[in-house]
Amino acid sequence: MDINAYTVCEVAVALVAVVGNTLVIIAFKRERRLRRLTNYYIVSLAVADLLVGLLGIPCAILTKMELPKQLYPCLFTLSLLIVLCTISIFSLVAVSIDRYWAILYPMGYARNVSTKKAICIIGVCWVLGSFLGFLPLLGWNRSQEIRSGCKFTKVMDYNFLVFLYLATIVFPALLMGAFYAHIYSVVLKQLRAILTVNGMASGDRSMLRVLGAARKRDVKATKILSIIVLFFVSCWFPLYTINFIQAFCPQCEFPELLMDSCIILSHLNSAGNPVLYAYHLKDFRNVLHAILTGEQTPLGSKPELSTVRLKSAAPNFTPKLPHKIYCTDDERVPENDKDYEILRARCSVDSNFTAELGAASERHGDPT
């Protein structure tokens, strides 16, 4: 691809990435309703994508011109994109583990996970991603090849390329695929169990229906995150696969147009993620629309990545279906039930859950 055409494409992708991810970060900072645990990982991904637009793509344009000519500046510009890619994939792995724990073990998740812990996990992702990405600067490189220009496959050690492909693309993709497949299978079984419950008092059916709605929101959140993961792997997999092949076949040459297209595709991931957030996440979409139009942030919309949290008196185990959960101050708690295990907890739930509970009770003529 001609250097001018390549530069135009890269600059366009960079502008979209910078504007889109900046809006996502501003929306998260502006609207408190967006500050849920899962969204912290999304913002971490947005920051990495923002840095791709600000720093990574300019470095890619330099290396297209085979600059810089010195070894360590060349290694730094090439390693920077590896760092940002690795941080992104680690953030996606972290949010996959978060969703897995939240959906399969909700009681343990509610007791043990907090905003501070999520921030610490994100910090670990950034530190570990930076360490792995900058390994070429620490000596894992082919310094004798710098005379031929600053090219990725010329200065990177082939063993490092193999390690990078397996550790940051193949293994994380398989791990996340296994997580999401297991989540879907377990949650669908639980939803079927909820939908087949019969012979309950109307008030109990209302509570169970609301818990089922919360479970469906978790399924939707997981589906959205799985789409983000699939988009990431689709954008980065071609480029890393080519690098992996060249590690075992140094004499293999790929068309320049194919290489440049794969590089632009990998950067396009950073520009496309904000579009995914705005399209699939209603809360982000509402806040972004308010920012762009100058309107007041719409209130009362349903949080889409919420999990019902039962705090303080939650049981020290994860119950299996079928079971019923009652608030400790609910006067309608039965002493025993032959078909269901009775659990009591002091309930602290989000405003959306409370509103849905009230609406469900009103539909069935029950007091909340």
Residue located via tokens 């760092």: 83
Identify which has the larger pLDDT, 296 or 43. Answer: 43
Is the pLDDT at 17 greater than 80, yes or no? yes
Structural domains in the chain? 3-179+216-293 (1.20.1070.10), 310-348 (no CATH)
Share of the chain above pLDDT 90, in %: 15
Per DSSP, the residues of 114-157 read -HHHHHHHHHHHHHHHHHHHTGGGGT-B-GGGGGG-S-HHHHB-
239: Cβ contacts below 8 Å, ≥ 6 apart: 262, 263, 265, 266
What is the maximal distance between C-alpha atoms in the chain?
Answer: 81
Structure tokens given for 232: 């990431």
CA dihedral 45, 49, 50, 55 (to 10 degrees): 130
pLDDT digits (tens, 9 = 90+) for 281-331: 777 888 888 888 877 655 444 444 444 443 444 444 444 445 555 555 555
Q: What is the DSSP pairing of strand 310-311 with strand 323-327?
A: unpaired
As a whole-number percent, the residues of the chain with pLDDT over 70 amount to 70
Task: Locate all alpha helices (DSSP H) within the chain, ordered by sequence.
Answer: 3-30, 37-51, 57-64, 71-104, 106-112, 115-133, 152-155, 158-165, 171-195, 202-248, 256-280, 282-293, 351-363
pLDDT at 307: 41
Q: Across 60-74, 177-191, 327-341, which has the greatest mean pLDDT?
A: 60-74
Confidence band (pLDDT; 50, 70, 90) for 343? low
- pLDDT at 140 (0 to 100): 87
Q: Look at the pTM and tell me if it is higher than 0.95.
A: no
pLDDT tens digits, 206-229: 544 555 555 666 667 777 778 888
